[in-house]
Amino acid sequence: MIGVQIKAGLANQMFQYAFAYGLIKRGYDARVASRLRASEWDHEYIRCIEIFDLSQVRELPRYRLPARYTRSHLLQRLSRALPGKGGLKIPESVIYEENLKFEMDSPLDRRTYTPEQGSFMEGAWQSEQHFCGCKSEVKDLFSFPALEDSRNIELADFIGSHGNVVSVHVRKGHDYQISLGIGTCEPSYYREAIETIRSQREGCYFLLFSDNHAWCKEHLGDLIDQTVSWNPISGSGSHIDMQLMSLCRHHIIANSSYSWWAAWLSEEEGTIIIAPEKWLVTESDWSTDHIVPDRWIRL
- Which pLDDT does position 128 carry in this prediction? 92
pLDDT of amino acid 34: 79
Res 68: pLDDT: 44
- pLDDT for residue 134: 95
Alpha-carbon gap, residue 160 to 21, rounded angstroms = 30
Banded pLDDT at 274 (limits 50, 70, 90): very high
Q: Give the per-residue pLDDT at 43.
A: 56
Res. 88 pLDDT band, cuts 50 70 90: very low
249 within 8 A of 208, measured Cβ to Cβ: no
Residues 6+ apart with CB under 8 A from 52: 141, 142, 143, 144
pTM, two decimals, is 0.84
**What is the phi/psi pair of residue 130, to 5°?**
-70, -20
Q: What is the mean pLDDT of residues 286-298?
A: 83
The stretch 115-135 carries a mean pLDDT of 84
Contact 93, 122 (CB under 8 A): no
Comparing 82-86, 121-125, 138-142, 213-217, the range with the smallest average pLDDT is 82-86
Provide the CATH topology of domain 150-298.
Rossmann fold (3.40.50)
Residue type at position 213 = H
Query: pLDDT of 228-246, one tens digit each?
Result: 999 998 888 999 999 999 9
Over the stretch 169-195, which tens digit does the pLDDT of each residue have? 998 755 444 444 456 788 999 999 999
What's CA 284's distance to the chain center, in Å? Answer: 20
Instruction: State the SS3 of 260-295.
Output: HHHHHHHCCCCCCEEECCCCCCCCCCCCCCCCCCCC
